[in-house]
Every structure is written in structure tokens, then in C-alpha cells.
Amino acid sequence: MTPAPLSDDPNGRHRDPVTGAVTEEAMLHFLEAVLGMAEPVGPQVGMLCLGIDGLEGITVRHGIAVRDAALLGVADRLNERIRVQDLVGRVDSGFGICLADIFPAQAVAAAERLLRSIRATPVPTPIGALALTCSAGLVLSRGGEEQAPALLDRARDLREAARRAGGDGLITSFAGGPG
């Protein structure tokens, strides 16, 4: 029960030029479609927001080319490790992943696996391999509970809470209370 894929997008209007991930607008469209197909019981819809810890400092110290290489490296890791029914997109300065049809334990395991994959191997950049970590926020919802922008905002807020807590971590919130 996955929505039809985004069009080929010949003009690149729905793709980030640096990473190739879909834009936030396209992510919201996909998330809204997935929420619209969600059942009131069973698997839920997850929204995971990730931000590269210290990305602003990397940009200031090393420039835009290194920042872009870091973003591309993280995007590649995310795309290599998600399920076929999920979607990676750019969300503000980081990334969002819509996790379609997923149970809470699966969503947490997927988020932790993605964070480990980023942490495990430095990303190639023009200045050499760069070790990165990410802060992440994960929320789950069922169809009809909330709209895509609200779900994305909740995931963003949790990502920022993870960053304020020191970074390199995951904070979750599921329907019915915090996770």
C-alpha cells in the first residue's frame, strides 16, 4: 500500500540539486498520500528527521564543497538502507524519511540502523574522509490523526531536542505518548 512514485521530474523541480533527494514539498506530498492510505489499526506511518551534527561549523571551517559532500554522503547512506516503500527527502538543512507501513519497534530499529550506518564510516569529502553523526527525531501516526505538515513539524522538533541533548542520538514520540 505505497503511493505511486513521483514523476520522472525532467526539470528537477522536485529534487534537491546537491543530493538528488526529493524536496520538502515533494516529501510532504508523499507523506500526505501515505497518511491517506493508512489503516486505523496495524502498521503506522513514520516520519524520521535527521540533521548532521555540526554541519554549520563544517561549512564555516571548510566551505560549501565540503558541506555538500557531507550531505551527499549522508543522502547516499540513507537511500542505500531504506526499504523500497520509504522515501528520503531534504528537510530544511537535513533530511526526512517517510517510513510507510511500519510498526513502532521496526521504526526505532530502522532509525537506529541509519544512525549507526552514518556513524560507522566517514564520508569522503574534498578534505578527506569526515566522520559524521546525526541527531534524529522519529514520530509515528495513523491515517486521519494529523496532517503531513504537523507530523513533519513534530519530527523536526524531536530532532532539535536530540541536538540540544548533545547530538548523535534519537528521540521518539508515538501516538499515545512519548517513546
> How high is the mean pLDDT in each 10-residue block of the chain (179 residues)?
48 84 97 93 95 98 98 97 96 96 97 97 97 98 89 98 97 67
Give CATH superfamily name and number for 24-178.
Reverse transcriptase/Diguanylate cyclase domain (3.30.70.270)
Upper half-sphere CA count for residue 111 (Cβ side, 13 Å): 33
Q: How far, in whole angstroms, is CA 171 from its chain's centroid?
A: 13
How many Cβ atoms are within 10 Å of 123's Cβ, its own excluded? 19
Report residue 166 as a C-alpha cell: 548533545
Backbone angles phi, psi at 168, to 5 degrees: 50, 50
Cell match 569529502: residue? 125
Rounded Cα–Cα distance for residues 63 and 33 (Å):
37
Predicted TM-score of the model (pTM): 0.90
Residues paired with residue 177 on neighbouring β-strands, in sequence order: 174
What is the H or E stretch that residue 71 is in? helix 64-81
pLDDT computed for residue 10 by the predictor:
53
Report residue 81 as a C-alpha cell: 538502507
